[in-house]
């Protein structure tokens, strides 16, 4: 017999956030993923980020595609809205939901197969249109759910569990997101929660298309010597460009800093991203420098992590389309259906 329900009881001493919820209120069902799968650590980081951000769970819509990674929204934010779409189609369904209801916070959860293979076109257009969302790819370099075939993000020269060499060039979703116009781009590692939680908090608070590629080892099919997406490889080759602290707009800033060591980036909603540079001269406000930097370090076999690029004043698709301020389900019938005369006027203006 399997038990998928978690006990609903809360210990009275558990901490409560500013909107009255305990961390456990942000959990979902018990995970059915393999023990040690990186994806479960990412779910834990999302739970932590939403709890710390004081988000009411019903304000979040989580959407995903198909894959072990895309199953994970079932394991966090059980009280939020959810839509498990078709393989690779999360971005277009999310775009539609976002246009219909701009009041929700959108979390797009996907895999490297889901976003870099079948859904590559969908990924590209969500990024270039500036759909406001936190798009998280749980990147393990394989199709975990269908038993470990190389995915499009597998590095050239990487070996499968059976020793087969991958000869194809990899798709680098971070490089693509930068090129396509995403306004918040980061890379994390499921084994580094201290870095991942503030990266996710920054993405959720961002005003445009935010993308985070999280290297997330698949312990069943891609965690052996020769794989560049294994825990050991990423730990040995990880280069963090900065350490990021997320400071909510409401909080007083009390951290002691040396000038020149940190860069403060204030986002449109008042939240502050405080970046402590670990690589002298790295500028997260320069998209083109970020692209060159990433590619140079990838060629050296390094996995660069951290907040790689941010445009704090980014706007989104709603601004570009000049949509109305309210969600469609909050509009009265007259506003939704202004009548035949209004249609006639509109048609006449197009003749
Ligand atoms: C249209 C369609 N084609 C193929 C599949 C088979 N399929 C299911 S999951 C998957 C790949 C998932 O890989 P990824 O997104 O990397 O997720 P992971 O399991 O590695 O987390 C494939 C090819 C499918 N479900 N639907
Ligand atoms: S097969 Fe791989 S990706 Fe899927 S749950 Fe197991 S470890 Fe995770
Ligand atoms: Mg995968």
Q: What's the CATH code of the domain at 99?
A: 3.40.50.970
Domain count, the chain: 1
Does 54 fall in a domain?
A: yes
CA of 67 to the centre of ligand 1 (A): 5
Closest Cα partner for 101 from 122, 83, 119? 83
Please list the pLDDT of the chain residue by residue as tens digits (351 residues): 555 677 777 788 889 999 999 999 999 999 999 999 999 999 999 999 999 999 999 999 999 999 999 999 999 999 999 999 999 999 999 999 999 999 999 999 999 999 999 999 999 999 999 999 999 999 999 999 999 999 999 999 999 999 999 999 999 999 999 999 999 999 999 999 999 999 999 999 999 999 999 999 999 999 999 999 999 999 999 989 888 889 886 554 443 444 456 778 888 888 888 887 778 778 899 999 999 999 999 999 999 999 999 999 999 999 999 999 999 999 999 888 889 999 999 999 999
Probe residue for ligand 1, chosen from 91, 143, 150, 161 as the CB with the greatest number of ligand atoms within 8 Å? 143
Probe residue for ligand 2, chosen from 32, 38, 42, 68 as the CB with the greatest number of ligand atoms within 8 Å? 68
Does 334 fall in a domain?
A: no
Within 13 Å, how many C-alpha atoms sit on residue 76's CB side? 27
The boundaries of the domain holding residue 150 are 23-321
Does 344 fall in a domain?
A: no
Does 49 fall in a domain?
A: yes
Residues with CB under 6 A from ligand 2: 33-34, 37, 39, 68, 140, 144-145, 218-221
Does 168 fall in a domain?
A: yes
CA of 263 to the centre of ligand 3 (A): 34
CA distance 116 to 77: 26
Does 308 fall in a domain?
A: yes
The alpha carbon of 213 is separated from its chain's Cα centroid by a whole number of angstroms, namely 7
Closest Cα partner for 180 from 209, 138, 204? 209
The pair of three-digit structure tokens given for residue 102, joined into one six-digit string: 């701009």
CA of 136 to the centre of ligand 1 (A): 16
| Ligand 1: residue whose CA is nearest its atom 4 | 87
Position in ligand 2 atom list of the atom nearest CA 40: 8
CA distance 148 to 141: 9
Residue 113, ligand 1, Cβ within 6 A: yes
Probe residue for ligand 1, chosen from 111, 115, 216 as the CB with the greatest number of ligand atoms within 8 Å? 111
Ligand nearest to the CA of 115: 1
The pair of three-digit structure tokens given for residue 46, joined into one six-digit string: 């999302």
């Amino acid at each position: 017999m399997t038990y998928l329900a978690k006990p609903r009881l809360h210990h009275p001493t558990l901490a409560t956030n500013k909107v009255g919820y305990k961390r456990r209120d942000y959990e979902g069902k018990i995970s059915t993923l393999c023990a040690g799968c990186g994806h479960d650590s990412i779910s834990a980081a999302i739970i932590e980020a939403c709890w710390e951000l004081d988000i009411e769970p019903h304000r979040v819509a989580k959407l995903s595609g198909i894959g072990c990674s895309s199953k994970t929204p079932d394991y966090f934010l059980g009280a939020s809205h959810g839509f498990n779409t078709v393989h690779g189609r999360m971005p277009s369904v999310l775009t539609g939901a976002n246009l219909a209801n701009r009041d929700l916070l959108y979390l797009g959860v996907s895999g490297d197969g889901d976003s870099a293979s079948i859904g590559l076109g969908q990924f590209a257009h969500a990024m270039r249109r500036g759909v406001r969302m936190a798009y998280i790819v749980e990147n393990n370099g394989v199709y975990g759910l269908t038993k470990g075939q190389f995915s499009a993000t597998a590095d050239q020269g990487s070996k499968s569990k059976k020793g087969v060499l991958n000869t194809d060039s990899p798709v680098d979703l971070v490089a693509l997101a930068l090129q396509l116009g995403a306004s918040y781009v980061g890379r994390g590692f499921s084994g580094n929660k201290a870095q991942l939680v503030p990266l996710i908090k920054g993405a959720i608070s961002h005003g445009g298309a935010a993308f985070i590629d999280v290297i997330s080892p698949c312990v069943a099919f891609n965690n052996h010597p020769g794989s560049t997406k294994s825990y050991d490889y990423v730990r040995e080759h990880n280069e963090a460009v900065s350490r990021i602290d997320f400071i909510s707009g409401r909080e007083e800033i009390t951290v002691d800093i040396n000038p020149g060591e940190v860069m403060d980036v204030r986002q449109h909603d008042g939240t502050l991203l405080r970046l402590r540079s670990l690589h002298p001269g790295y500028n997260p406000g320069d998209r083109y420098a970020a692209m060159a930097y990433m590619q140079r370090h990838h060629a050296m076999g390094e996995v660069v992590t951290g907040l790689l690029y941010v445009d704090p004043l980014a706007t989104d698709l709603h601004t570009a389309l000049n949509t109305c301020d309210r969600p469609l389900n909050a509009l009265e019938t007259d506003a939704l259906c202004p009548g035949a005369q209004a249609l006639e006027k509109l048609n006449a203006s197009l003749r």
